[in-house]
Structure 1
C-alpha cells in the first residue's frame, strides 16, 4: 500500500507556511518532515486504531524513573519494577538498590525499600499472591584486560565434626609460597560429618569401633592482595588461613587450583525474599543453598518453586544443583540435578513434566544444555526433542505456552547465536505436546531476524509480539520498531501498530488487568548506528491498546459481584448484565518477566454456563494445567472484546 501523502494532504499539513518551510529546509529534510507528520496523522485515525491498535507513553515523574530489569504484575493490579543496581556499577558500589511500584489504573508510583541487589534475580508467583524473588548480584564482572589482581574460587574445608566455622569477608589465605589472597565475602563452612563404621558391645552397651570423618566444604571468591605474576597459579595447592589457631588451624584450610587474571564474571547471591503485595514490602525468607545470578524460578503444580541454573558465588554456572522452595515452611530443599544455561525457559506441562524450550539468556558453553527436551522431575530423566530450525540460535529467543493451555502447544520465537554473535533468526517453531512423539515444526517467520522479542498472551487467544533487535543488545542501531499479532487458530501473523520506543536487552512486556500491554526497559550497548556513543538505559514506559478496545470503546462486557476464590468444585459465579453476549472465559496467570523470559504467563480455557443475569465459570481441577495462585479472569464477547479482569484465587 502506498502511504505517501497526497498533494492535498501535504498542503493541509504544512498550511500556508509551506513555502517558508521548504525554503528553510533542503528537499530530503522537508520530505521527511512531511512523512512524519503524515504518519502521526494516520496512526491517530480511529479506523487505523480499530485495525492495528495504538501506543501511548506513560507520564513517569523523574524521581520514579528506574532501570526496569524485572517486571511482575501483582494480584493488586500494580506492577513491581525491580532494578536493584540496574546494571550500574556506581549504584552497586554505593549500595543503591531500587524498586518502584506502578499502579497503571491511577498512574501513581511508589518507591519500595530494596534490601538486596536483585539485579538479574529470579522471580515467580506464589499461591498466596506474594512474589518470590531469589538471587541477584554479589559482584559485577571485570572484563579481560581489566583484571589487575589474580582471583578465583577458593574451596574452604572443615575437618572438625564438632562445629561449623564462619570466616568473615577479608579473611586471608596464604599459599605455600607465601602469596596472600583475601576473601571478598563471608563464608560459613558446616561441621564435618562423622560416620560410625563398625560397632561392638561392651558392658551391655553398643560402642563405636571405628569412625570416619568426611570434611565439609564451602566456596568463596578470593583475590590476591597485590598485583603481579607471583599470584597466578593453575596448580592445586593447600592454603593456610591466617589468624586461625589451635585445632581450628589444623581443621580448616583452603584448596585452590586456578587463580588467574582472566575475565571475572558476575557473581550471585543466596538471598531470597517474598514481596507482599498488600504490605508492599520485601519480607526475608531462608536463603538458597547456592548463590544464583540469572536463575529461572518456576512454580510447580503443588505450589512449590523450582530454582534452576544461574551464576554462583565465584561466577561459574551452577553445575546442576537445583533446589525447591516450599512457601509453607519458607525453606529450600535439594531438587533434581540437571544442568541448564542461565535463565532457561521451563514450562509446567500437563502431567507435571517441565518442557525446556531451549530459550535461554546466555551464560554457559555453546555445546552444553541448549537442546530442548521434556524433564521428568520425579525420575530426573530428560527426553530430547528435535525438529528445531536454527537450533544454534536459541539464546535471547522468546518462548510461551500458546492459548489455551489445554492445547499443550509451546512456541519459540526468534533468538540469536551464543554470546555476542551477530546471528539472529526470524524462525518461529511450535511443538504439540499432546502428540505421541512431539517435535518442533516451523511456524510463520517473523519479519526479520529478532533477538529479545517480547511476547504476551492476550485474552482473545492471540499473542502480541513487539520490539527486539536484530543484533546483540541493539548494536548498530538495530532496534526493531515493529509489532504483530500471532493467531494460533490461523497460524499466522498480522501487523500491529508500531511502537515508538526501542526495546532490546533488559526489556519486558506484560498484560495489564484492563487488557492493555505495558512495555518497559531496554539496555543497548550503543546509542548510535556507528557504535561510538555508549548506550543509555531506556526508562520510558509505553502502553499498547489492542484493537479490541478501540472497537468496543466503552461498550465492554463486564463482570459484577462475585467471589475471590473458586469453590471446592472449581466454580465461581458472577453477576452480570452482559450474560447474553459473553461467549468465552479465560483465566490468565500474571507475568513475572525478565530477559525475554516469562515462564509464568498462561491462559486457561474455562467452562461457561449462563443465566439471564449471571455467568458461572468452571476451572480445570488439574493443577499441572492451573498451578495454585491468583489469576485474572477475563470474559469475552463474540467479537473478542474482553472485560476488565476480576482477580480470583485458585487453591
Structure 2
C-alpha cells in the first residue's frame, strides 16, 4: 500500500508537470498579428448590402475570413460583402486572421426597418415619359430610355441617366427615332441591351446597347423578327432570351411564338425554341436555377373586348425555357388567365403574379383580384391572397425585407392610382402602403443599392409626367 501511494503521488506530479505546472512548461506565443476592419460601425436598411474591408498585419499572411456572430444576422461573403437580414436589429460582423484565429476585429451593424414613405424627388426627368424602361447600372445609376409623351415627338428617342449622388437626371444620348413598348435588360457584364418596340410605322427589330462608361449607344444587330410587347431576360454568359410579342402591318397582325437568343460575344440573334403558345404581353422571369418561367399573355393583337372573342384568347398557360436544351416545356396553369400582369421573383425562389387583365364573369375585360404564386418545386400556381386594389400597368418590386411593393396602375374602371400596397409572401397578406403624390400607370420602379425604390414617369391618362418619387 505504501508503494502504491508513492506511485500515485509521482503520477500526479507528472500530470501537473504536463499541464504546465512544472519548469518545462511553455506559455502560448504572444499575439503578433492584429486585424482592422472598416467601417467599424454602420447603419443599413433591411436587405441592403454594404462592403467591409479588413486586413491582418504583423505577419506574412494578411488574409482574413469573415463571419456574422448572430444566427440569422445576415450573410457576409468571402470578400466582405455583407447583406443585411430582413429584420431590424444589431448584428456583429467579424474579420478573423487566417494565420492566427485569435486575432480578429468586429464591426457593429444596425439594421433599420423601412420608413415606408414616398416623397417627391427634387430632380425631375428631363423629358416626361411613360411606357419607358429603367435599367440599374453597376454604379447605382439608372438609365431611362424610350417611352411616349416626349416633347421631341410622341415616341421618345432620348435617354437620360439618374445619378444617385446628386439625385438628378441628365440627358445622355438621342436616337434617330423614338420608340416605346421595347424590352430592356442588363446583361451579366452590366451593359444594358434594348430590343424591339414600336415607333412610327409599327414594330421594329432593331437592337442596341448602352455603354455605361461614357453613354454612347451602338447597334446590337437585328432580331430575327420585328416585335413589340415581347419579353427579354438576361441569361448566363452575357446572353439574353427574347420571346413572343406581336408584329403587324397593313392588313395583318402576327402574334409570335418564336424566341431567340442574343449573344454579346457574337453580337447576333439566333432562333431558339419556339414557345408552345403564341403570346404577347406575357411575363418572363429567370428562376434560381437559370431556367425561365413564361406566364400568361394574349394570343390576339387586340386590347378591347369588342375586338377579342373572349377568355380563350387570354392565356392561363405557363411554360419553362431551359437554356441547356433550348426548349420550352409547359408547366402548371394559372388559376385565372391574364396578360399585362407582373411576375416577381421572391427571395425564396417562388414567383409572385400580380394584377393584369382577364375576361371577367360578365364577359368584359377586367382586373384579376387575386395574387398567384408559382412554386418551381411543384410546378403549380396557388392563390396567394387578394389585392387591395386590382390593377394593371402597375409595378412590383421586391424590398430588402422580402415584401413586395406594388405601386400605381389602372384599376377596374381604368382610373390611374396613386396608392401602393405591400405584399408579404410569408403570410400571403397585403397591407396599404404610402400614397404617391402623382397618379400614374406605365411607370417604372427600380430598387436602388441603398434599398430605396425610384419611381419614374408614367401617365394619368391625360398626360405623361416628369415627376419622380422615391420610396424609402
Global fold match (TM > 0.5): yes
- 1:104–1:502 Cα change, 3 Å: farther
Unaligned stretches of 5+ residues in structure 2: 1-82, 84-112, 430-440, 452-472
Structure-2 residue corresponding to 1:341: 227
8 Å contact kept, 2:133–2:444: no
Structure-1 residue corresponding to 2:378: 490
Shift of 1:128: 0.6
Higher helix share: 1
How far, CA to CA, are the matches of 1:502 and 1:481 in structure 2?
5
1:352 matched to 2:231? The reply is no
Shift of 1:328: 0.7
Shift of 1:318: 5.4
Indicate the SS of the match to 2:120. Answer: strand
Shift of 1:502: 0.8
8 Å contact kept, 2:239–2:262: yes
1:456 matched to 2:456? The reply is no
Query: 1:144-185, CA deviations, whole angstroms, 9 ceiling, x for partnerless residues?
Result: xxxxxxxxxxxxxxxxxxxxxxxxxxxxxxxxxxxxxxxx96
Structure-1 residue corresponding to 2:166: 279
How far, CA to CA, are the matches of 2:363 and 2:159 in structure 1?
34
- 1:477–1:337 Cα change, 3 Å: closer
8 Å contact kept, 2:335–2:383: no
1:419 matched to 2:302? The reply is yes
Structure-2 residue corresponding to 1:323: 208
1:547 matched to 2:449? The reply is no
How far, CA to CA, are the matches of 2:164 and 2:248 in structure 1?
32
How far, CA to CA, are the matches of 2:355 and 2:116 in structure 1?
26
- 1:477–1:297 Cα change, 3 Å: closer
- 1:136–1:479 Cα change, 3 Å: closer
8 Å contact kept, 2:205–2:227: no
Tell me which of 114, 120, 140 is aligned to 1:110: 120
- 1:340–1:508 Cα change, 3 Å: farther
Tell me which of 275, 300, 305 is aligned to 2:192: 305
8 Å contact kept, 2:355–2:368: yes
Structure-1 residue corresponding to 2:50: none
Shift of 1:597: 9.8
How far, CA to CA, are the matches of 1:478 and 1:497 in structure 2?
18
1:136 matched to 2:160? The reply is no
- 1:136–1:485 Cα change, 3 Å: closer
- 1:428–1:318 Cα change, 3 Å: closer
8 Å contact kept, 2:395–2:406: yes
8 Å contact kept, 2:229–2:280: no
Shift of 1:483: 1.4
Structure-1 residue corresponding to 2:366: 478
- Bigger mean CA deviation after superposition, 103-112 or 489-498: 103-112
- 1:470–1:106 Cα change, 3 Å: closer
* 1:87-126 aligned within 5 A: 105-111=115-121, 112-126=123-137
How far, CA to CA, are the matches of 1:325 and 1:387 in structure 2?
29
Shift of 1:595: 5.9
Shift of 1:288: 2.7
Shift of 1:498: 1.1
Shift of 1:410: 0.5
Number of paired residues? 315
Structure-2 residue corresponding to 1:270: 157
8 Å contact kept, 1:123–1:296: no
Tell me which of 324, 327, 351 is aligned to 1:434: 324
Aligned-CA RMSD value: 3.4
TM-score (norm 1): 0.44
TM-score (norm 2): 0.59
Displacement over 3 Å in runs of 4+: 360-366, 594-598, 629-632
Higher strand share: 2
